[in-house]
Amino acid sequence: MKRPEPRELVILSVRRALGVSIVLFAFYLSLHVLGRYRFLTPSDIVTILGLVFAGTWLGIGFSVLSPLPEERGLPRVIRTALLVIPALGIGVAIQIVLKGARSDMAIYAIFALAAWLGSTFIKEDGDQDGYLD
């Protein structure tokens, strides 16, 4: 299994989470400018940062249990479904707790996207046939 060192994994996850957060901030800012969407409040910014970091670390935890397969195709699709479907459910629960049943932010999608992107750090090694060390 190709697994980065813990320190490198932390640095990679923080970089990925900050990058995804910046893209989301730019998306919401463009919605504000082009579509008269309300401007993000400081609590919205903290919420997005927290969701992206939590989703990224959920993805890393999942990839420890099920590393990214070396070959492309059906194994990757099944692995992605096994991660994203529960992440969407967790995201919906977080959205209901934080913002209520109606929200103007796609909290569930932000969480699932971050989990999916965070699950790509740990990959299977082709020589070991997918067994853990």
Q: Is the pLDDT of residue 129 over 70?
A: no
Q: According to the model, what pLDDT value does residue 126 have?
A: 62
- Mean pLDDT on 51-76: 92
Question: Secondary structure of the chain: what % helix, strand, coil (to 5)?
Answer: 70, 0, 25
Q: CA torsion sign, 5 to 8 to 14 to 18?
A: negative
pLDDT, averaged across the chain:
89
Q: How confident is the model at residue 60 (pLDDT cuts 50, 70, 90)?
A: very high
Q: How confident is the model at residue 133 (pLDDT cuts 50, 70, 90)?
A: very low
Q: Is the pLDDT of residue 115 over 90?
A: yes
Q: Give the pTM.
A: 0.86
- The Cα 97–Cα 24 span in angstroms is 21
Tokens of 104: 């103007």
- Mean pLDDT on 40-55: 94
Q: How confident is the model at residue 74 (pLDDT cuts 50, 70, 90)?
A: very high
> Measuring CA to CA, which residue among 75, 77, 78, 83 is closest to residue 129?
75
